[in-house]
Amino acid sequence: MVRGLSGLRVMITGAAGGIGSAIVDRLHDEGAIVMGVDVVSPADTRLAYAGACDVTDEASVTAAFDAAVARTGGIDALVPAAGIQISKDTHDLTAEEFRTVIEVSALGTFLTTKYVIPAMLAAHSGRIVTFGSTAAVGSAPRLAAYAAAKGAVLQYSRSIAVEYAARGIRVNCICPGGTMTPMMKQIEAQRVGVDHFKERHPIGRYAEPAEIAGTVAFLLSDDASFMVGAAVMVDGGYSIG
Ligand SMILES: NC(=O)c1ccc[n+]([C@@H]2O[C@H](COP(=O)([O-])OP(=O)(O)OC[C@H]3O[C@@H](n4cnc5c(N)ncnc54)[C@H](O)[C@@H]3O)[C@@H](O)[C@H]2O)c1
């Protein structure tokens, strides 16, 4: 058993975002070799590789991930954290809005995992932590496209977790509750009426991004060696409250 993440080569998508950049911080502190991509290349100089990548575009994923592998020699672990949300009445969503929300989370998770799995199979070793949400397991009114996207990510994650578990790849899906990031600020700005979302977290507050990053670090580590296909609720009690 190896403790910590020293030397682990980890690729993070959405690495410039609120949670993504907290994951960069945490994994860097733990001695991992951290690679990050986002729509606009992350500015963090600690990244062993930083690149621009649209996770919904297979050619873009291949180009960025090829460049990352050329820089670091390989990807031992993947955290596909890129995601977007649109909050509005469902009958007002356009087909394009619905498609885009689904594509960033679900297609993006598929394309990035599809890239890393062959080398992980060859190494008989790999760790993947996908990004669900409380919306993957519960209802999310006015966030229906987002809930559909996150439900898809969770079921996709469970499927590949079982498919590859005996071949050395460990996949789990983290499902955060409300977390104070640019996405959450956007959700709050798009809400109508009184906002009870925060109060529905029994802990009485939103998460800090570092609290989500800590669980990602745990799931990537050998301490989570028997965790396969779990929906890991990191939600201040939201899903059971
Ligand atoms: N903040 C929350 O309350 C919360 C709760 C549960 C789950 N999540 C999930 O956590 C993850 C991170 O969210 P966050 O709150 O840090 O949001 P954020 O908006 O701060 O960061 C998301 C990042 O994804 C990037 N991104 C968007 N589309 C992309 C694309 N096509 N290709 C590459 N990158 C793209 C954005 O540029 C952004 O930097 C998301 O998957 C989100 O759905 C967030």
Q: What is the pLDDT of residue 94?
A: 98
Task: Report the CATH number that the domain containing residue 124 is assigned in CATH.
Answer: 3.40.50.720
Residue 2 lies in a domain: no
- Please state the pTM of the whole predicted model: 0.98
> Which member of 146, 164, 206, 238 is catalytic?
146
* Cβ of 36 below 6 Å from ligand 1: no
Q: What is the pLDDT of residue 2?
A: 57
Residue 4 lies in a domain: no
Residue type, 119: A
* Cβ of 180 below 6 Å from ligand 1: no
Q: What is the pLDDT of residue 188?
A: 84
Contacts of 84 (CB under 8 A, 6+ apart): 100, 101, 104, 105, 183
Burial of 161-170, coded b for 16+ CB within 10 Å and e otherwise, reads: beebeeeebb
Report the residue among 183, 206, 212, 215 best suited for mutation to probe ligand 1: largest number of ligand atoms under 8 A from its CB. Answer: 183
Q: What is the pLDDT of residue 189?
A: 84
Angle, alpha carbons 115-25-29 (nearest 5°): 105
User: Which ligand 1 atom lies nearest to the CA of residue 149?
Assistant: 43
Residue 1 lies in a domain: no
Query: What is the residue-level pLDDT of the chain in tens, covering all 241 positions?
Result: 556 799 999 999 999 999 999 999 999 999 999 999 999 999 999 999 999 999 999 999 999 999 999 999 999 999 999 999 999 999 999 999 999 999 999 999 999 999 999 999 999 999 999 999 999 999 999 999 999 999 999 999 999 999 999 999 999 999 999 999 999 988 888 877 766 788 889 999 999 999 999 999 999 999 999 999 999 999 999 999 8
Where would I find the beta strands (DSSP E) of 7-133? 9-13, 33-38, 49-52, 77-80, 126-131
Cα-to-centroid distance, 1 and ligand 1 (Å):
32
Residue 215 lies in a domain: yes
* Cβ of 147 below 6 Å from ligand 1: no
Report the residue among 19, 103, 134, 157 best suited for mutation to probe ligand 1: largest number of ligand atoms under 8 A from its CB. Answer: 19
Residue 160 lies in a domain: yes
d(CA 131, CA 72): 24
Q: What is the pLDDT of residues 142-172, one digit of tens each?
A: 999 999 999 999 999 999 999 999 999 999 9
Q: What is the pLDDT of residues 184-214, one digit of tens each?
A: 988 888 877 766 788 889 999 999 999 999 9
Is-catalytic flag, 146? Answer: yes
Residue 35 lies in a domain: yes
* Cβ of 76 below 6 Å from ligand 1: no
The 8-class DSSP code of residue 104 comes to: I
* Cβ of 174 below 6 Å from ligand 1: no
Cα-to-centroid distance, 146 and ligand 1 (Å):
11
Q: Which residue has its alpha carbon closest to ligand 1 atom 42?
A: 83
β-strand partners of 26:
none
Range of the domain at 59: 9-240
Which of 109, 235, 106, 101 minimizes the C-alpha distance to 179?
235
* Cβ of 233 below 6 Å from ligand 1: no
Residue 124 lies in a domain: yes
Residue 52 lies in a domain: yes
The structural domain count of the chain equals 1
